[in-house]
Amino acid sequence: MSRSNAKPPVISDELVMRKIHTIRGLKVMLDRDLAELYGVPTKALKQAVRRNMERFPEDFMFEMDPEELEQWRSQIVTSNPSDKMGGRYAPFCFTEHGVLMLSSVLNSAAASA
C-alpha cells in the first residue's frame, strides 16, 4: 500500500487567531473549530477525546459550563451574527497543550501533518 503524497491545506494564521477564545481566563480553541481545521467531524473528535480522557487533564481541556456557554453564545452573536452558535452540547475547550495532545489522538491526515 502506498501513502498519499497529498498535503493538507495551509491554514492561515489569521484564521487560527479568529478561532481563539478567552474562557476562564485561558486562551482556548473549541472542539468544533479544531474539528474543522483537522478535517474530522466534531462527533469523531469528541469520541477520540473521551476514549483518551487520561491524556487531557483540566489544564489541557475542559467542557464549558452552562453559564460560560450562554456568555460565549451572546458574545458570538454580538461580534459576528453570521457565525453559527454550534450544537446542543457545550463544547470542549482546548488550551495550547490540549491542541497539541489532540493532534496525537486524532486519526486524520491534517492532524498528523
- Residue 42 confidence (pLDDT): 93
CATH number of 13-112: 3.10.260
- Residue 72 confidence (pLDDT): 79
Around Cβ 89, how many Cβ atoms within 10 Å?
13
How much of the chain, in percent, has pLDDT values that exceed 70? Answer: 73
> CA 40, 43, 44, 49 torsion: positive or negative?
positive
73 touches 1 (CB < 8 A): no
87 touches 42 (CB < 8 A): yes
Asked if the model's pLDDT at residue 104 lies above 80, the reply is yes
pTM for this structure? Answer: 0.75
How much of the chain, in percent, has pLDDT values that exceed 90? Answer: 48
Q: What is the pLDDT of residues 15-69, one digit of tens each?
A: 778 889 999 999 999 999 999 988 899 999 999 999 999 999 999 999 999 998 8
Rounded mean pLDDT, 94-109: 86
Q: Which helix (H) or strand (E) holds 45?
A: helix 42-51
